[in-house]
Amino acid sequence: MVDQPVKIEVRDLHLFYRQHEALKGISFTIFPNEIFGIIGPAQSGKTSLLRAINRTLEFTPGTRYSGSITVDGQEVGKVRNVYELRRKIGMVAPLPVGLPMTIYDNVAFAPRMGGMRQKGEIDATVEQCLRQAALWDEVKDRLHTLGTNLSGGQQQRLTIARALSHQPEILCLDEFSIAIDPVSTMRIEEVLKTLRQQMTIILVTNLVQQARRLADRTMFLFEGKIIEVDRSEVIFSNKPAQQKTYDYVNGIFG
Amino acid sequence: MFEATDQTRRKQRQEKAIQYLLTAMTTIIVLPLLLIIFYLLYKAAPILSLEFLFENPIHGMRAGGIWAPLLGTIYLVLISLLIATPVGIFAAIYLNEYSRESWMTRVINLAVVNLAGVPSIVHALFGLGAFVLFAGIGRSILAASLTLAIMTLPVIIASTKESLAAVPHSFREACWNVGATRWQTIRHVVLPNSISGILTGVILQVSRAAGETAPVMFTGAVFFKAIQTGDPFAYGLLDQCMALSMHLFTISTQVPDVPEALTYGTAVVLLGVVLLFNALAIFLRVKLRGKKKW
């Protein structure tokens, strides 16, 4: 993998919430068009990492980090147009957030804020994103009803459609299946398998099996440190490099 | 099975007693309001008519209508609304959405809370000193409206902040994640979902301003001034004006031999103006809450 182009590179990242050090010097690389799984117990710094990459961390007072995060070779802390950076990264939160507007407006929001004006163009984007998120068939007849009236699973797919609506190159999913049923989870997992042809996917998950099913490579984060990063076959095999990884994956941690 | 023990019965009696007590207290709140309204209407009945609204006071205010004070109060309320609303709402947006926690913002927040507790007579003196004398506006509708605006600002800021804070934080994060700026987020998601609460807060404050006497007495309201009847533009911005609250004070304490009905009539109109603004607030709230979508 030496000559492979790099999508995201993190070097010696330390991340602080006031005095508390959430990430303690982590380094790893994410390659284009791979699904990169991040597993680890709660409080291990997974969400903070995602928020540092798209720079929404700075909305939380008292946070700072040292080290380097580059996306496509650009240092995220130094980009001039932070909105462009965020548009390059689609972000899906653990709990579905339907904005209090219609299904159509939910998906059209980002393109409109990005300056898209033509109705035909917006229509096409909305349809494309809802199709990509496997939601189109269920909602095409009620695009102009409230997004918040959808079921939890549908809302999460709506959130994914919205994350896709600004044509990101990277899609981050932060424990997307935490609040939805297994059937919806399976549908979204199928969606991800298709999407990887077009983009890089970071999949933060509490479900070890989900990372095993989907991720090409998996990183095990624990208490702000990387225990192990490797191809998923290795991480989930009988003999990963670290005993801790084996214990966590097999549920004998503690 | 399911038999009531002594302990259960005692709990049930207690439950009933509490219920009666709470109901009684609630009734006690409503009762005085109804009594006031009916008593005023009863006393004012002989004089209430359209002419009463649209005629100036005559015969040393012992007869005629209340056109000049009514129009004056409407001017004061609307102009102070015009001044206080944008300032208050934008300040609240800054405090709630932009400012970071620091000793500065803590001082500002503390100041806002404390300003809300300053007695209106103190505001009146401040208005007299700052607007009438120092700024040289002179005693006028403008100076009085500015004073009323300053007086209502703290509460407008506080209630607006509360309405903004009620919009879930996850909405903002969802917007930031797709590359929307702070202002786009506020403009398209936060404000549409908090506007009903914001406007209600604003209007309730202004209706309070309508009833204030001291601030306008010090800064722009006069004992008597005859204006063109039926002309809604009879006052200029720098004119002095009559005001309902002060008119009521004048005819009930300063002028002898005013017919009782005239005093009560004035009170009814003042109450009517306030209730009208409150009704407008309720109407707006219901209307705009229909647009709230979560």
Asked casually if ipTM beats, i.e. exceeds, 0.85, the reply is yes
Q: Which of the four pLDDT bands, split at 50, 70 and 90, describes residue A2?
A: low
Helix (H) or strand (E) holding A17: strand A8-17
Please give the C-alpha separations between residue B259 and each of B63, B223, B243, B269, in angstroms, as whole numbers: 8, 18, 19, 16
* Other Cβ atoms within 10 Å of A239 Cβ, number: 9
Outline where chain B has alpha helix (H). 6-44, 50-54, 67-93, 103-115, 120-127, 141-165, 169-177, 182-185, 195-211, 214-219, 244-249, 260-289
Give the ranges where A133-221 is alpha helix by DSSP (H).
136-139, 152-164, 182-195, 208-214
| DSSP 8-state symbol, A175 | S
Q: Tens digit of pLDDT for each residue in B178-214? A: 989 999 999 999 998 898 889 888 888 878 888 888 8
Question: Is residue A2 in some structural domain?
Answer: no
How many residues does the structure list for chain B? 294
Classify residue A58 by its DSSP letter: G
Q: Does A35 score more than 60 pLDDT?
A: yes
The verdict on residue A80 lying in a domain is yes
Domains and CATH numbers, chain B: 50-289 (1.10.3720.10)
Query: Which residues 134-163 in chain A show a CB within 8 A of chain B?
Result: 146, 148, 159, 162-163
With contacts defined as CB-CB under 8 Å, which chain B residues touch A84? Answer: 179
Tell me if B179 and A97 make a contact (CB, 8 A cut-off).
Answer: no
Looking only at the bridges linking them, the beta strands covering A20-30 and A170-174 are unpaired
pLDDT of the residue at A208: 87
Residues of A in contact with B192 (CB under 8 A): 100
Q: A54-83 pLDDT, tens per residue?
A: 999 888 888 989 999 999 988 998 988 999
Which residue, among B95, B100, B177, would best test binding to A if mutated, counting the most A CBs under 10 Å from its CB? B177
pLDDT at A18: 87
Please report the pLDDT score of residue B60 as a whole number: 76
Mutate to test the interface with A, among B95, B99, B178 (most CBs of A within 10 A): B178
Average pLDDT value for chain A? 89
Asked if A50 has any chain B CB less than 8 Å from its own CB, the reply is no
Q: Give pLDDT tens digits for B57-73.
A: 888 777 788 888 899 99
Nearest residue of A to residue B191, measured between CA atoms = A100
For A9, other C-beta atoms within 10 Å of its C-beta total 17
- Residue B290: is its pLDDT beyond 70? no
**3-class SS at A221?**
strand
Residue A42 inside a domain? The answer is yes
Domain containing residue A238: 8-249
Q: Give residue A1's pLDDT.
A: 47
CB nearest to B171's CB, from A54, A99, A163: A99
pLDDT score of A45 more than 90:
no
Could B170 and A97 be called an inter-chain contact, meaning their C-beta atoms sit closer than 8 Å?
Answer: yes
Name the minimum distance, in Å, from the CA of A238 to any CA of chain B: 38
The string of pLDDT tens digits covering residues B22-48 is: 999 999 999 998 999 999 999 888 888
User: In this structure, is residue A208 part of a structural domain?
Assistant: yes
Contact between chains at B171 and A100 (C-beta distance less than 8 A):
yes
Mean pLDDT in residue range A222-243: 90
Residues A20-34: b if buried by 16+ CB within 10 A, e if exposed: eebbeebebbbbeeb
Whether A3 is covered by a domain: the verdict is: no
pLDDT classification of A103: cutoffs 50, 70, 90: very high
On chain A, the residues whose CB falls within 8 A of the CB of B184 are 113
Do the chains contact at B193 and A100, CB–CB below 8 Å?
A: yes
Query: Cα–Cα distance between A248 and A245 in angstroms, integer?
Result: 5
Whether A162 and B174 lie within 8 Å, measured CB to CB:
yes
pTM of the predicted protein model? 0.83
Q: How many CA atoms lie within 13 A of A60 on its CB side?
A: 17
Element (H, E) at A83: helix A82-88
- Helix orientation angle between B6-44 and B260-289, rounded to the nearest 10 degrees: 130
Asked if A86 lies within 8 A of B178 by C-beta distance, the reply is yes
Contacts of A101 in chain B (CB under 8 A): 189, 293
pLDDT digits (tens, 9 = 90+) for B225-271: 878 777 788 788 888 888 889 999 988 888 888 888 889 999 999 99
Q: List pLDDT tens digits, range B70-127.
A: 999 999 999 998 999 999 999 999 999 998 878 888 898 899 888 888 998 999 999 9
CB crowding B103-138: b at 16 or more within 10 Å, else e: eeeeebbeebeebbeeebeebbebbbebbbeeeebe
Domain count for chain A: 1
Which pair of structure tokens corresponds to residue B225? 């001034």
Nearest residue on chain B to A165, judged by CA atoms?
B178
Tell me the CATH number at A155: 3.40.50.300
Q: What is the pLDDT of residue B57?
A: 80
Does pLDDT of A232 surpass 80? yes
> Would you tell me which residues 187-226 of chain A have a C-beta closer than 8 angstroms to some C-beta of chain B?
none
pLDDT at A7: 92
Q: What is the pLDDT of residues B156-177, one digit of tens each?
A: 999 999 999 999 999 999 999 9
d(CA B130, CA B193): 37
Whether A1 is in a domain gets the answer no
**Set of chain B residues whose Cβ sits within 8 Å of the Cβ of A166:** 178-179
pLDDT band at A203 (very low <50, low <70, confident <90, very high): very high
A75 CB within 8 Å of a chain B CB: no
A107 inside 8 A of chain B by CB: no
In this predicted structure, what is the pLDDT of residue B291?
60
Q: How far apart are CA A150 and CA B213, in angstroms?
A: 53
Q: Does A87 touch chain B (CB under 8 A)?
A: yes
CA-nearest residue to B169 within chain A is: A97
Whether residues A148 and B294 touch (CB distance < 8 A) is answered with yes
CA distance B142 to A3: 74
Percent of chain B at pLDDT > 90 equals 44
